[in-house]
Structure 1
Amino acid sequence: MKKWQNVTIKGTKDGLTLHLNDDCSFEDLKKELDEKLSGTLLTNEDRALIPVKLETGYRYLTVEQQGELRDLVRQKNHLVVEEINSQVITTEEADKQREENGMVTIARIVRSGQVVEVPGNLLLIGDVNPGGTIIAGGNIFVMGALKGIAHAGCDGNDQAVIAASSMKASQLRISDCLNRAPDHTNRDEKHEMECAYIDINRNIVIDRLQGLMHLRPNLTRLEGGR
């Protein structure tokens, strides 16, 4: 029988990663974790806190169980749990992820004073008139003229993009970055479909849509998908 088979400790440049067996009972897991941490602990009082990451596999941990593991690790000098990763999520969490990563399709004209907001990605078939606003937690795609305000990645998603058949927005926002009235050399000239994204300098850049596939290769796949 292998010793410590329920707990594997690996050191990394960022601290410790503990891989926890997801087949044993929770009580057996806690007992072995306590014993193993006690047997390998450094006792130098001047040592800084060591961050610990827990990998729990397919074991679902309640909030109380997570708290027990955090307390157990914290009782050991210089160790503190900074992250708990699990391959299991609740139905509520799955529904929330689906909502945030899904695509909402709306066919309408967003007129002055109107606001359309969705938690995930937005596909608008129609125009956004001056004074109209569209907001999305993910990407925004406008199959029409974007002349009003568009805010993509409103919850802090820097990878979000805005694309429109005619990009003449009065204001573009992605995450916390802002770009007012994008400048075109000839406002009356017909343009091909364009996109806006945050570059490495955290500026909003407007470019041809064809370049987007190189900048955001995972755009055609929902986040967390395969």
Structure 2
Amino acid sequence: MHDLKQLITIKGTRDGLTLFIDDTCSFDEAVNELREKLLANQPKQKEPRVSVTIKLGNRFLSDDQKESLHNLIRDENRFIIQGIESEVITKNEALAFMEDSEVKTVNRIVRSGQVLEVTGDLLLIGDVNPGGTVVSTGNIYIMGHLHGIAHAGVNGDRNTIIAASYMNPSQLRIADYISRAPDYESDGVYMECGLIDEEQDKIIIDRLQVLAQKQKSINRFERRIKNG
């Protein structure tokens, strides 16, 4: 006679408990075993509250099911839910992720007074003239001259970069960092990129080759270009 499969695995960490829920059983089966495991591992009254992180694997929970888990764990006095993590996302979340990670290719000149703004990485085949602005939630790659303003990681991603065939911007911005004229050569430079140097706590201009060591994002960009 075979032993019953364990549906709930509990591991202790410095931050509390991590609960791994088998993703092949029914939700009701998982809840029943979870209730038993929580009672067996309930901390004593004098001990501080214990944080619990729940890992669902390839299981998607409805809002009602999440609420059931919250209620179950709250009922066991000394536990606090730190988070519920799943490898499964909704269709809307997947579409939003695809849009945010997509490379938007634009073939145009951004002239003075114009603003080109995209979600995801921007590949601009053309120039950004003085007074023109390009803005992206991801990286910015310009196959041309950058004379205007470029703002990468506009939603706060400090790991993004700005690269251009000819770099002579009036201003570079990455997330909440701003680089003005003293931070780069006023005469312009060829095939350079702007990125945040954490040690100097500012945007620097460097050779494109440094991205191979410092930025994983450029590798993702290369794969997306190769794979279409």
* Same fold at TM > 0.5: yes
**Which residue number corresponds to residue 12 of structure 2?**
11
- TM-score under structure 1 length normalisation: 0.90
**Which residue number corresponds to residue 221 of structure 1?**
220
Shift of residue 182, structure 1, vs aligned partner: 5.0
**Which residue number corresponds to residue 168 of structure 1?**
168
Structure 2: runs of 5 or more not aligned: none
Deviations 1:147-204 (A, max 9, x none): 111111111111111111111111111111111235445x33x622111111223311
Stretches (4+) displaced over 6 A: none
Deviations 1:98-118 (A, max 9, x none): 110010000111111111111
Residue identity in the other structure for 1:139:
N
Shift of residue 46, structure 1, vs aligned partner: 4.9
Would you say the 8 A contact 1:53–1:83 is kept in 2? yes
Residue identity in the other structure for 2:29:
D
**Which residue number corresponds to residue 83 of structure 1?**
83
Would you say the 8 A contact 1:129–1:146 is kept in 2? yes
Q: Which has the higher helix share?
A: 2
Confirm or deny that 1:22 pairs with 2:20.
no
Residue identity in the other structure for 1:38:
L
Distance 1:211 1:18 in 2: 41
Would you say the 8 A contact 1:172–1:181 is kept in 2? no
Deviations 1:39-78 (A, max 9, x none): 111123351x322211101111112212221222222223
The percentage of counterpart residues that share the same residue type is: 47
2:29 counterpart SS class: helix
- TM-score under structure 2 length normalisation: 0.89
Alpha-carbon distance change, 122 to 158 in structure 1, aligned in 2, over 3 angstroms: same
**Which residue number corresponds to residue 134 of structure 1?**
134
Distance 2:68 2:182 in 1: 53
1:97 counterpart SS class: helix
Confirm or deny that 1:207 pairs with 2:206.
yes
Would you say the 8 A contact 2:116–2:134 is kept in 1? yes
Shift of residue 3, structure 1, vs aligned partner: 5.9
Aligned residues: 220
Alignment of 1:147-162 (within 5 A): 147-162=147-162
Would you say the 8 A contact 1:22–1:59 is kept in 2? yes
1:219 counterpart SS class: helix
Structure 1: runs of 5 or more not aligned: none
